[in-house]
């Protein structure tokens, strides 16, 4: 559209496409051919798109799912001429349409920036794509927040595209909702709020008040992070969500710079990115200020580029002898936006809580004390159950479980712990199975209960109770205060 304003996101994408060396004339997307068609995302997304396809069967629109790398997983359309044309540019299952390989396009930009995107006609980088308009919306896992892929709708550029993005957003939203409904009824991940904490010593800061007398696995990683920060390196802490990555970096920063304040920032919703950058970036490079950015693998590509530029500029401006403490967390290094990867000098891997059994009880005691404002005791059985749990949600899950238990009793016993802590089963349970398991745990954790009494209350024989215990991998340590 002649004279239409060009967004900063689009300009940034064009620049990246040029930097990647994408041809302006023709594209050659890589063919993988290996599709993950067994994931929950694919199962739910296909079901949603099949329903939408039935309503658009006579429209010149192609509906498709891609994974987080832009690999096209499926495609459906009632317009055979459109399908033949898309085959000619390889926008088909098995081909990767990431920005890096084909330049600016709807699904590639949606994945890069983790934001709903429409790319029309000559807004595409490659001329061979200028006859199409694409609307794409990323789909995030409702529990982890990780990018699963995107929903992409493509039509001819001559067609009206006013409703295309709305349809893609509806399909993406329905896919995420269906994923949540089929995920054992777990609570969705809290929406990103982009919190920014500016903290002055000696007030609470990220990592303040957290347990420091932990086991050797934590202490070793903490020492490595501290040494790197002391040597003016940029540290990236990787590991599972909730394992304590940000806490570890905050402790390392505090050990090396005890009088500095620590500013911690979490990724914001896409629409708030500019305001988020404006809040904390003026602090970068100020004397006596350390910066910690969490979950940088969730940042849109253009925001990651701004962060990179700001860090580089701050280090250049720093006076001789000055240090610009900057650290980041992510799930893993290869999930980083390309712009941030070159900044990383040192990577430290924070072990999950299941590999740090020595840390469970100190963390539990700290969580209970915070919840009640005073010391709370644990029975031997409760301590054993906490240590034996696999903690798929890591320290964050432990803190939530113990805090809830501490609000119910001065002495935490196994009967105050949720059933999933006492059950080692990892497969997804149905609602009926979950109810049955929880009832068995509720009865068996009652003080003084015998197996015969438990069977009578549950309406089962003792043999059935034992079989159900094995089926759900229930382990209830004997109560002993």
Q: What is the pLDDT of residues 262-286, one digit of tens each?
A: 888 888 887 788 888 888 888 887 8
Cβ-proximal residues to 18 (8 Å cutoff; 6+ apart), any chain: 125
Q: What is the pLDDT of residue 270?
A: 78
| CA distance linking residue 477 with residue 22, whole number of Å | 61
pLDDT over threshold 70, residue 39: yes
Query: What is the pTM assigned to this prediction?
Result: 0.68
8 A C-beta contact, residue 107 and residue 168: no
Nearest alpha-carbon partner for 265 in 182, 192, 201, 194: 194
The predicted model gives 303-308 an average pLDDT of: 92
Beta bridge partners of 95: 31
The predicted model gives 54-72 an average pLDDT of: 93
8 A C-beta contact, residue 378 and residue 364: yes
Nearest alpha-carbon partner for 157 in 228, 97, 89: 89
The predicted model gives 67-85 an average pLDDT of: 93
The predicted model gives 403-412 an average pLDDT of: 90
pLDDT over threshold 80, residue 397: yes
The predicted model gives 289-300 an average pLDDT of: 90
Neighbours of 477 (CB within 10 A): 18
Return the structure tokens found at 413.
């016993």
Cβ-proximal residues to 459 (8 Å cutoff; 6+ apart), any chain: none
pLDDT over threshold 50, residue 203: no
The predicted model gives 244-259 an average pLDDT of: 88
Task: Write out the DSSP string of 108-119.
Answer: HHHHHHTS-EEE
Nearest alpha-carbon partner for 327 in 284, 385, 358, 360: 284
Q: Domains of the chain, with CATH numbers?
A: 8-181 (3.30.450.40), 196-351 (3.40.50.300), 354-471 (1.10.8.60)
- Could you give the angle at the alpha carbon of 44 between the alpha carbons of 40 and 47, nearest 5°? 145
Q: What is the pLDDT of residue 189?
A: 59
């Amino acid at each position: 559209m002649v004279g239409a304003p060009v967004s900063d996101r689009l300009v940034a994408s064009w620049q990246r496409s040029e930097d990647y060396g994408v041809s302006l004339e023709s594209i050659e997307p890589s063919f993988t051919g290996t599709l993950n068609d067994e994931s929950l995302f694919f199962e739910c997304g296909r079901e949603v798109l099949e329903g939408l396809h039935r309503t658009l069967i006579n429209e010149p629109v192609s509906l498709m799912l891609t994974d987080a790398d832009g690999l096209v997983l499926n495609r459906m359309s009632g317009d055979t001429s459109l399908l033949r044309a898309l085959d000619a540019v390889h926008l088909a299952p098995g081909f990767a349409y990431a920005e890096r390989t084909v330049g600016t396009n709807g699904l590639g930009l949606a994945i890069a920036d983790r934001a709903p995107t429409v790319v029309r006609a000559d807004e595409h980088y490659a001329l061979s794509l200028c006859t199409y308009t694409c609307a794409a919306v990323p789909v995030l896992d409702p529990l982890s927040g990780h990018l699963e892929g995107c929903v992409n709708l493509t039509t001819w550029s001559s067609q009206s595209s006013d409703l295309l993005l709305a349809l893609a957003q509806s399909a993406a939203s329905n896919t995420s909702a269906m994923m949540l409904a089929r995920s054992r009824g777990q609570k969705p991940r809290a929406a990103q709020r982009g919190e920014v904490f500016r903290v002055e010593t000696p007030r609470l800061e990220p990592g303040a008040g957290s347990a420091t007398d932990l086991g050797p696995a934590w202490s070793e990683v903490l020492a490595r992070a501290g040494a790197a920060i002391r040597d003016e390196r940029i540290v990236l802490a990787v590991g599972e969500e909730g394992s304590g990555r940000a806490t570890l970096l905050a402790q390392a920063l505090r050990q090396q710079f005890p009088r500095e304040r620590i500013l911690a920032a979490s990724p914001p919703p896409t629409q708030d990115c500019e305001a988020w950058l404006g809040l904390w970036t003026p602090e970068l490079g100020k004397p006596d200020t350390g910066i910690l950015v969490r979950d940088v693998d969730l940042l849109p590509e253009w925001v990651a580029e701004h962060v990179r530029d700001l860090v580089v500029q701050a280090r250049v401006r720093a006076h001789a002898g000055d240090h610009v403490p900057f650290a980041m967390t992510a799930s893993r290094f290869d999930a980083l936006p390309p712009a941030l990867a070159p900044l990383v000098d040192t990577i430290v891997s924070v072990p999950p809580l299941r590999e740090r059994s020595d840390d469970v009880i100190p963390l539990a005691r700290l969580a209970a004390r915070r919840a009640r404002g005073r010391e709370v005791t644990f029975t031997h059985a409760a301590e054993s159950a906490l240590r034996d749990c696999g903690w798929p949600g890591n320290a964050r899950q432990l803190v939530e479980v113990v805090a809830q238990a501490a609000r119910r009793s001065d002495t935490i016993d196994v009967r105050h712990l949720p059933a999933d802590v006492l059950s080692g089963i990892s497969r997804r349970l149905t609602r009926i199975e979950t109810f049955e398991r929880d009832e068995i745990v509720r009865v068996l954790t009652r003080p003084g209960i015998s197996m015969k009494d438990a069977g009578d209350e549950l309406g089962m024989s003792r043999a059935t109770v034992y079989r159900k215990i094995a089926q759900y991998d229930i382990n209830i340590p004997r109560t002993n205060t």
